[in-house]
């Protein structure tokens, strides 16, 4: 099993997968780098939350474009059968992306925290499904072990780290906004 996973990254990995990996990881790390490089922003966890939410929202809208308007190509790239599932998933991505951007526009960072937590839980379940598909159904390939899985796993850790950095003193990571 491990030799098959290594083989995926040595021989099955293509230039397209590398570009996909850059597209998936840039919205995760770019806001963190900007926040870390600018000393004035580093003092404020809310700035990190806003930057991360902004890039997460635009990434969700981009992925919804792929899933809704390019559903056949996306399904073949991910080794999915062509079905309405990709379109439904795309509408979820659109709703989450638009929702988090609207929260930022309205100045409701507490609501954005809730959406980030929900999106992190969704990404965690998505990662589990990709791992299950890869190992239980022997679909070991870049479609399940590639950029999408890497994004899902890293997003969970980064989202909760951002939520921790953005919380106020003496407050829980997420609380019910008023």
| Nearest-angstrom CA–CA distance, 22 and 33 | 15
Write down the H helix ranges in 14-170. 15-37, 39-42, 45-69, 71-77, 85-105, 109-136, 142-145, 147-166
Helix 109-136 vs helix 85-105: crossing angle, to nearest 10: 160
- pLDDT level of residue 5 (50, 70, 90 thresholds): low
Question: Mean pLDDT for the chain?
Answer: 83
- pLDDT level of residue 21 (50, 70, 90 thresholds): confident
For the residues 58-67, what does the mean pLDDT come to?
91
State the pLDDT at residue 158: 94
State the pLDDT at residue 124: 94
**Residue 174 pLDDT greater than 60, yes or no:** no
C-beta atoms surrounding 136 within 10 Å = 8
Cβ density class 74-92: b for 16+ within 10 Å, e for less? bbebbebeeeeebeebbee
For the residues 74-98, what does the mean pLDDT come to?
85
- pLDDT level of residue 170 (50, 70, 90 thresholds): low
State the pLDDT at residue 53: 94
| Nearest-angstrom CA–CA distance, 132 and 94 | 25
Higher pLDDT among residues 110 and 18, named by residue: 110
| Nearest-angstrom CA–CA distance, 163 and 136 | 33
Structure confidence by residue, pLDDT tens digits, 94-146: 999 999 999 999 999 889 999 999 999 999 998 898 888 778 877 777 666 77
Cβ-contact 64, 93 below 8 angstroms:
yes
* Angle at CA of residue 74, ends 135 and 144, nearest 5°: 15
Q: Is 170 exposed, middle or buried (0-12, 13-18, 19+ CB in 10 A)?
A: exposed
For the residues 148-164, what does the mean pLDDT come to?
90
């Amino acid at each position: 099993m491990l030799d098959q996973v290594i083989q995926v990254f040595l021989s099955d990995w293509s230039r397209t997968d590398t570009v996909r990996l850059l597209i998936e990881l840039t919205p995760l790390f770019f806001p963190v780098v900007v926040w870390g490089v600018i000393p004035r922003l580093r003092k404020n966890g809310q700035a990190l939350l806003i930057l991360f939410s902004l890039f997460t929202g635009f990434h969700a809208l981009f992925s919804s474009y792929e899933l809704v308007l390019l559903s056949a190509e996306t399904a073949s790239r991910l080794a999915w059968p062509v079905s309405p599932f990709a379109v439904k998933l795309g509408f979820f991505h659109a709703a989450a992306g638009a929702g988090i951007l609207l929260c930022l526009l309205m100045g409701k960072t507490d609501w954005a925290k809730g959406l980030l937590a929900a999106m992190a839980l969704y990404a965690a379940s998505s990662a589990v499904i990709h791992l299950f598909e890869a190992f239980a159904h022997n679909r070991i390939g870049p479609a399940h072990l590639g950029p999408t899985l890497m994004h899902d796993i890293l997003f969970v850790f980064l989202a909760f780290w951002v939520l921790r950095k953005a919380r106020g003193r003496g407050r829980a990571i997420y609380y019910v906004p008023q």
